[in-house]
Amino acid sequence: MSYPTILEVEPGSPAAGVGLTAGDELVTVNGVAPVDVIEYQQLVDDPELDLELMRHGDPVRVAIDKRPGEPLGIRLSSSIFDRVQTCDNHCEFCFIYQLPPGMRQSLYLKDDDYRLSFLYGNFTTLTRFTELDLARVIEEKLGPLYVSIHATDPDIRAGMLRNPRGATSLRWLRGLLEHDIDVHGQIVLCPDVNAGEVLERTCAEIVARYDGLASLGIVPLGVSRYATGMSLRAHTPQEAAADLDIIESWQETARRHIGRRLFQASDELYLMAGRQVPEAAAYEGFPQHENGIGMIRAFHDEVARLEAGTPDEGPQITGEWRTIQSAPATGYRAPTVTAPPAETGAAGPAVIVTGVYGAQALRPLLLRLEALAGRELRILEIPNEFFGGNVAVAGLLVGRDIERALQADSDPAGLYVMADSALKGDVFLDDMSLAQVAATASAPLVAVAPSAEALVEAVAA
C-alpha cells in the first residue's frame, strides 16, 4: 500500500499548528493504517491523534489535540490508499473503449470501486463487490451509491457487461436496498439490446424488486467515431420517442405504486426525439442533474426566476454527489477555471460557445437571456469533430474543436463565453488549456459555471 501525501495544509488548522507540511506522507492514525480517505476521515474525527508520518524518508510522530470532529486541515494526494478496484467488465458501449489513442493515461482507467461511487458519484456495476464490502457499506452507511443496472434480465445484463458475474451481481443491489442504503441507478440504453421490450421488462422488474432505489436515470448510448467494430448504434428519433413513451408510462405506474416517479429520462433522449422536456416536478429534486437529467428544465426554470427576481431554488450544480473535505477533487469534480467577474470584453455581442445539444436547448431562451443581460447575444454551435458520432453534449467539447470554430467565426464578437463543464482543472480532454484556446480568439474567451445566473453575470453589459 502506498502512503497518501499531504498536498496542502490549511492555515490555522490543527495540522498547521503542529507543523505538518506539504510533502509529508501519512502512515498511520492512532496506530491504524487507513485504506482510503473514508476510513481516514473517521479516524481523524477523534480529539486525540497520534500520527505516524514519513518526512523526506524519515519517520516522524506527531501528537494532536483538537475538538471532536474538528477537521484536521489537510488535503491528501489520493482518495484510495490501497488500490483502486478496476473494472473487469468489457462493455461494448463503454466510452473508454471509444477514446482515441494518445490521450492522457488517466482517461483510460476503468474503475468499479464502490468507494469512488460514494465519494464522487462514479457508477459501479457491483461485479467486484464482496460480502466484506457490503458489511462495510452497511456498518458505515456509505451512501448514496451509484449503480449501473442496464437490464435486470440476467442473461442480457451479463451479455452487455461481457462478464458472467453480471448475471448475479444485482443481488448486492438487493442487499444494499434491504439495509436502507441510498442507491441511484442508471441504464445506458442501447437500441436492439436493452431498449424497447427489454426496457419495458426492466422497468417492471425495478418496480417489483428494486423499488427502494432513490432514482433510476436512463441515458442513451453515445457512439464516437473511434468505436471501431462496435455492433451497437445510436437511437433514431422514432426509437427515442418510443423509449420515452415506455419511461413515462412506467413513471406513472411507479407513482401509483410507490408514490414517486422513480424513472427519469436524460435530456438527450428528449432532444433526440424532438420533444419538450417535462416540468420540474417530474425530476423529483433533480437527483441525477450531473448525469444530464433535468439540466434543460433546471436552466429554463432558473431563467424564469431571474426574470421574476425570486431567489434561486434550483438544484445545486454538484447534485447529490458526495465528497469528503480531505479527498482530492478528481475527474469531473476537479476545480475549473471560471470567468473573472469584470471580464466583459469589447463592444459587440457576447457569443455563447456550446455543443449541438446546448445550442438546441439555448435557442428558445436567447431573447430572454438578452433581456436579462442587457446585451446582444448569439450562439456559436460547435459540432464535436474530435469524438464524432452522435457525441453532441457541451461537456465533451475539446480545445481543438473550439479553437477551430473561434478562428472560423467571422461575425462580430465582443466576448466568447462557454460552460466550464468541458474543463478539468484548466484543460480540455485533449489537453489543450483554456488559455491556449483563448489566445486564438478575436475576443476574450471565458468559462463560467453552467447556470443561467453565471451566464448572465458574465455577459452583462
In this predicted model, what pLDDT tens digit does every residue of 162-192 receive, in sequence order? 999 999 999 999 999 999 999 999 999 999 9
Q: How far apart are CA 54 and CA 59, in angstroms?
A: 5
Domain boundaries, the chain: 6-76, 95-308, 334-459
User: 144: cis peptide before it, omega within 30°?
Assistant: yes
Q: Is the pLDDT of residue 201 over 90?
A: yes
Instruction: Tell me which residue of 94, 85, 148 sits closest to 114, measured CA to CA.
Output: 85
Exposed, middle or buried, 69 (CB in 10 Å: 0-12/13-18/19+)?
Answer: exposed
d(CA 41, CA 325): 9
pLDDT value of position 23: 95
Q: Give 452 or 341, the one with higher predicted confidence.
A: 452
Residues of the chain with pLDDT > 90: what percent? 76
Contacts of 314 (CB under 8 A, 6+ apart): 286, 298, 301, 302, 305, 451
Query: Where are any strands of DSSP class E within 1-113?
Result: 6-9, 25-29, 48-55, 58-65, 74-76
- Mean pLDDT for 329-334 is 58
State how far the Cα of 108 lies from the Cα of 113, in Å rounded to an integer.
Answer: 15
Read off the pLDDT band of 323 (50, 70, 90).
Answer: low
- Counting DSSP H helices and E strands in the chain, the numbers are 15, 13
pTM of the model: 0.91
Residue whose C-alpha is closest to residue 166's, from 148, 181, 180 = 148
Longest dimension (CA), the chain: 66
How far apart are alpha carbons 105 and 257 in whole angstroms? 46
Model confidence at 321: pLDDT above 70: no
Of the listed ranges 78-87, 333-342, 357-366, the least confidently predicted one is 333-342
CATH number of 6-76: 2.30.42.10
Point out which residues pair with 103 in neighbouring strands.
Answer: none
Residue that the C-alpha cell 437527483 belongs to: 287
The pLDDT of residue 336 is: 58
pLDDT digits (tens, 9 = 90+) for 368-408: 999 999 999 999 999 999 999 999 999 899 999 999 999 99
Give pLDDT, residue 238.
Answer: 97
364-375: b (≥16 Cβ within 10 Å) or e: ebeeebbebbeb
d(CA 130, CA 197): 32
At 322 the pLDDT is: 53
CA distances from 98 to 108, 220, 223, 229, 368 (A): 10, 15, 7, 10, 38
Mean pLDDT of the chain: 90
Q: Do the Cβ atoms of 258 and 252 come closer than 8 Å? A: no
Name the pLDDT band for 339 (thresholds 50, 70, 90): very low
The length of the chain is 461
List alpha helices for 294-428, DSSP H: 295-308, 356-362, 366-373, 399-408
Asked if 235 contacts 191 with a C-beta cutoff of 8 angstroms, the reply is: yes
CA distance 107 to 291: 18
pLDDT at 451 over 60: yes
Tell me the Cα Rg of the chain. 24
The residue type found at 450 is P
Give me the phi and psi of 416, to 5 degrees please. -110, 135
Element (H, E) at 350: strand 350-354
DSSP strand pairing (58-65 vs 48-55): antiparallel
**Angle (CA) 24 28 34, round 5°:** 105
Q: Which of 108-117, 156-165, 344-353 is most confident?
A: 156-165
Asked: is 95-308 a CATH 1.20.1250 domain? The reply is no
d(C-alpha 129, C-alpha 111), whole Å: 12
Mean pLDDT within 278-289: 93
> Residues near 277 by Cβ (< 8 Å), separated by ≥ 6?
267, 270, 294, 296, 297, 300
Q: Worst-scoring range by mean pLDDT, 60-64, 102-106, 352-356?
A: 102-106
Query: Please, are residues 44 and 50 in contact by the beta-carbon 8 Å criterion?
Result: no
Question: Order of strands across the sheet with 48-55?
Answer: 25-29, 48-55, 58-65
Q: For residues 345 and 129, what is the distance between their CA atoms, to the nearest angstrom?
A: 52
At residue 280 the predicted structure's pLDDT band, cuts being 50, 70 and 90, is very high
Please state the three-class secondary structure of 17-46 as a single string: HCCCCCCCEEEEECCECCCEHHHHHHHCCC
